[in-house]
Amino acid sequence: MVKMTIIDFLKDRAIGNANDLAFRFMGNGELDGPIIEWTFSELYHQSAGVAEDLVEQGLAGSNVLLVFPPGLDFVKAFYGCLLAGARAVPVPLPNPRSKNPLGRILKTAEACGASTALTNQQLAEMAESVGASELPVTFKAVTDRVVTDWAGPRIEMNEVAYLQFTSGSTGHPKGVAVSHANAVSNIRVMGEMLRLDSTKPSMVWAPHYHDLCLVGHVLGPVYYGYESTLMSPMDFLLKPVRWLRAMSHYKIANTACPNFGYAYSTRRIKPEECEGLDLSHWVIAGNGGEPVLQQTLEDFIKKFGPYGFRPQTFMPCYGMAESVLFVAGLKSMTQPPKVLTLSATDLETHTVRVLADNATGERNIVSCGSPGTGHQVIAVDPVTLIPSKPNQIGELWVQGPSVPGVYWGLPEESATTFEGRLADTNEGPFLRTGDLGFVAEGEIYLTGRLKDLIIIAGRNHYPSDIELTVQQSGAPVRMGACAAISERINGAEELVIIAEVDKRRLPADALSESPGTESLNEFWALAVKTVQGAVSKGHGLSVQTVVFVAPQSLEKTSSGKPRRQYYQKLFLKGDLAVLHEKRLPQAV
């Protein structure tokens, strides 16, 4: 096998595919809006300019934060770091709604020892105006220099290319140290799953710093030679039809987003906005990062099937930063994803029992496909550390060349996560994912997170199932903004629902600080009753506490997952932005 790093591929593309389109950025998401396009030659020379600047600053061999709004400046800065032998560290933009907007950036800088953050001119000037010169990190505008005769250091396959900080549900940043060998291995797996080649253009609206965009749509194009269209996630959220119009116009073959994106598009795109759409070029619709729901797939197919979208186009997949990106997703290109109908009652005891279609008491689990060549996934009992039986759910363990094996600067956490070994054979090391699931006929099925599991009266309950029930209950809850957690009362675990209110369904006086009126009290009483009734009927559980919090107050991880452990801490401390809270009387 040829041992070529990512920058080896970049240099080859700059010569062999010099005039082929590499990247396109849609400035406002509209087809007639500002659009920037770079060929592979332009990408290389722009990136070489960044590399030369970094070397002159003495930053070769160091960690460099990348703090960019969506756009191609991020792309050239990322490749500039790789060319210079600096380790790129992509991070999100400062959150203006946060009490500490730079908190996450500074925590990441501290975790990896970075002293410099590359950004654009506007953000560099903004950082300077708010006293960034007193911070431990220097914010520097990325150069516009173009270099045609770059001769940088020779980079080896085992060298760390970049640090991918996990989206996480806590405030403790962990940077996965991804080597060139890890990245290339996972890109090959991605190509196998998505059947990629230079003729299949891609598109994504995910944040650039997220591994979904970074691997699939920033690294992938240089490896395979396909063109990549990038869009801001905010432009998608404001008007989701922009995504599908671009897919149609540019004849995009490959895209991916969380389940939320497909559900949101189905719900928000109006029929009249679909006029003229042609989705017949769409080959792969990756769906990952959060639980994949059968209902979402069916609704999307029903709405967009008339415009050329095919059921077999959906590719539910399983991935994580600790394996660069992809873990599983390989499926037939001629068949829709597999779905197993399982007994919900048996799942509460971590037992897999397949039911006939349309049986009562069922839970449908969508397959996330098979692992790529050279990789394996097994289910392991997290207590005994021996492989789970075929009909038992366990923690998913991963092994293969995509797994980096190290969190930067965290040897103890690296050992806990990346050095799992089977108790009966000592086989390993394995990546312990913390995800619960099982393997059936070589395909991966996810059921939940080990740490988030709620255990009441000796039975296991998956928060994502309960959260979905709450969101579909008819209560005034914003879609995707709900967290099911537990609270220990009188020595027993009790269920707590934290739900963000949909502001479009709030009474006019709901946000007032004055005492509640009779009509407002009735509104909250009905909302609580609706949540409790739905959870009782759907899961046989009594909801001890229902907490409705203010709009836009429940943050998610960068993958769109609820930060359950974080909000459990806030709930127990009394630090949630509570609009209304109802607790059941406690037995003495």
Task: Using DSSP, state whether 270 is helix, strand or coil.
Answer: coil
| pLDDT computed for residue 568 by the predictor | 87
Q: What percent of the chain has pLDDT over 90?
A: 71
Q: Using alpha carbons only, what angle is made at residue 259 by residues 253 and 265, rounded to the nearest 5 degrees? A: 70
**Better pLDDT: 192 or 457:** 192
Query: pLDDT of 229-285, one tens digit each?
Result: 999 999 999 999 999 999 999 999 999 999 989 999 999 999 999 999 999 999 999
CATH architecture label of 6-15+34-187+206-225: 3-Layer(aba) Sandwich (3.40)
HEC per residue, 326-348: EEEEECCCCCCCCEEEEEHHHHC
| pLDDT computed for residue 452 by the predictor | 84
Please say whether the dihedral angle defined by the alpha carbons of residues 418, 419, 423 and 424, taken in this order, is positive or negative: positive
Query: pLDDT of 492-524, one tens digit each?
Result: 788 999 999 988 888 866 655 555 566 888 899
| pLDDT computed for residue 389 by the predictor | 94
Query: pLDDT of 384-441, one tens digit each?
Result: 999 999 999 999 999 999 999 999 999 999 999 999 999 999 999 999 999 999 999 9
| pLDDT computed for residue 566 by the predictor | 84
Q: What percent of the chain has pLDDT over 70?
A: 94
| pLDDT computed for residue 509 by the predictor | 64
Q: Among candidates 585, 382, 564, which has minimal Cα distance to 464?
A: 564
Q: Is the pLDDT of residue 587 over 60?
A: no
Q: How large is the average pLDDT for residues 436-457?
A: 90
Structural domain boundaries of the chain?
Answer: 6-15+34-187+206-225, 335-390+414-449, 454-583
Q: How large is the average pLDDT for residues 182-209?
A: 96
The pair of structure tokens assigned to 186 is 């996972």
One-character DSSP codes across 273-298 = GGTT---TT--EEEE-SSPPPHHHHH
Q: Is the pLDDT of residue 131 over 70?
A: no
**Which helix (DSSP H) or strand (DSSP E) does residue 83 occupy?**
helix 72-84
Residue 97's Cβ-count burial label (10 Å; 0-12, 13-18, 19+) is exposed
For residue 542, which amino acid is it? S
Q: What is the DSSP letter of 391?
A: T
Judge contact between 77 and 66, C-beta under 8 A. yes
Query: pLDDT of 26-66, one tens digit each?
Result: 999 999 999 999 999 999 999 999 999 999 999 999 999 99
For residue 189, which amino acid is it? V
| pLDDT computed for residue 17 by the predictor | 97
- The rounded mean pLDDT for the chain is 91
278 φ/ψ angles, rounded to the nearest 5 degrees: -130, 105
Count other C-beta atoms under 10 Å from residue 19's C-beta. 8
314 φ/ψ angles, rounded to the nearest 5 degrees: -65, 135
| pLDDT computed for residue 586 by the predictor | 62
Query: pLDDT of 518-569, one tens digit each?
Result: 688 889 999 999 999 999 888 888 898 999 998 888 877 666 677 888 888 8
Peptide bond into 201 cis (omega under 30): no
Q: How large is the average pLDDT for residues 108-135?
A: 84
Q: Among candidates 70, 50, 176, which has minimal Cα distance to 118?
A: 50
* Distance in angstroms (rounded) separating the CA atoms of residues 203 and 25: 10
Residue 359's Cβ-count burial label (10 Å; 0-12, 13-18, 19+) is exposed
One-character DSSP codes across 108-127 = HHHHHT--EEEE-HHHHHHH
Task: Using DSSP, state whether 309 is helix, strand or coil.
Answer: coil
Q: How large is the average pLDDT for residues 337-348?
A: 92
Judge contact between 104 and 91, C-beta under 8 A. yes
The CATH class, in words, for 454-583 is: alpha beta
Q: Using alpha carbons only, what angle is made at residue 252 by residues 79 and 187, rounded to the nearest 5 degrees? A: 40
Give, in order, the Cα–Cα distances in Å from 414 to each of 323, 381, 406, 409: 13, 20, 5, 9
Quickly state the pLDDT bin for 571 (edges 50, 70, 90).
confident
Q: Specify the range with the lowest mean pLDDT, choosing from 284-293, 478-487, 559-568.
A: 559-568
| pLDDT computed for residue 588 by the predictor | 44
* Distance in angstroms (rounded) separating the CA atoms of residues 66 and 118: 5
* Distance in angstroms (rounded) separating the CA atoms of residues 473 and 475: 5
Q: Is the pLDDT of residue 168 over 70?
A: no
**Which helix (DSSP H) or strand (DSSP E) does residue 42 occupy?**
helix 40-56
